Amino acid sequence: MTDACTVGFIGFGNMGQAIARGLVEAGTLDGSQIVACAAHWDKLVESTGAIGATALRDAKEVVDAADIVVVAIKPHQIETVIKPVVADLAGADKFVVSIAAGWTLDRFDTMMGEMSELIHLQCTIPNTPMAVGKGVLVTETDNTLTDAQRAEFERIFGSIALVERVDGAHMDIAMCIAGCAPAFTDMYLEALGDAGVKYGLQRATAYRLAAKMIEGVGALYLATGTHPGAMKDAVCSPGGTTIRGVASLEESAFRGSVIRAVDAIQRG
């Protein structure tokens, strides 16, 4: 597979568009190397046109045109949409990347039956920051890609995301941390913005400060591997201002609230 490969999206909603936009913005793919189909034609034409991609009418057209097929429809739609094109997905000349929550390799194998032995498949869960090259792609350890396909997968998707491999049993919790927690972080970002406004900052300024701080803390951890508790301690001088804020968050069960939010998602 070469740099000129075509990536096709079956489904082109918010997440599919985020990935496609990220790949184009990163220079990994040209828009002309992307094709997509979706239920609503007018919206599809508009969204593909925005990045120079091509709108196609249905899943079979996408499978026929693409070297890499991204299954980006809602999980409950997969059997209806993918089963009719299973035979078209078989072969050494293409591979499939699923971004559907709850769909592991074992579940696809069951759905595809005997054809699963002929299909090269990698199951993943992405998050929306892939649109700006700062994403996470939770990636199931088990897959049926060849070595060359695995290298191509890492090259393409690793250009806009941390590719983190976990076993199938932990895909759901990894998805929660990487895929759901951005919403928690958005709430934190908004709350810091509100606090800034309360004390006279312009809202846009407060949001920029908070957003860059969040980005920087994550980058510092990834660069150093320093325990988050130690990073927190390094900012807290004895008797200083920061430790007073940390103590207030502890009184409000800040960490416990985050864990309970994750528990709520895991309980379904």
Binding-site positions = 10-15, 72-75
Q: What is the DSSP string of 127-139?
A: -GGGGGT-EEEEE
Amino acid at 44: L
Whether 242 and 236 have beta carbons less than 8 Å apart is answered as yes
Distance between CA atoms of 38 and 97, rounded to whole angstroms?
17
Helix ranges (H only) for the chain are 14-25, 41-49, 59-65, 78-82, 86-89, 105-112, 147-157, 171-175, 181-198, 203-224, 228-235, 241-251, 254-267
Query: Cα dihedral angle (85, 90, 93, 98), rounded to 10 degrees?
Result: 60
**Angle at 166 (CA atoms; ends 92, 214), nearest 5 degrees:** 115
* CA dihedral over 121, 126, 128, 131, signed as positive or negative: negative
Whether 62 and 9 have beta carbons less than 8 Å apart is answered as yes
107, exposed or middle or buried, with CB in 10 Å at 0-12, 13-18, 19+?
middle
Whether 12 and 48 have beta carbons less than 8 Å apart is answered as yes
69, exposed or middle or buried, with CB in 10 Å at 0-12, 13-18, 19+?
buried
Amino acid at 63: V
Residues annotated as binding site for NADP(+)?
10-15, 72-75
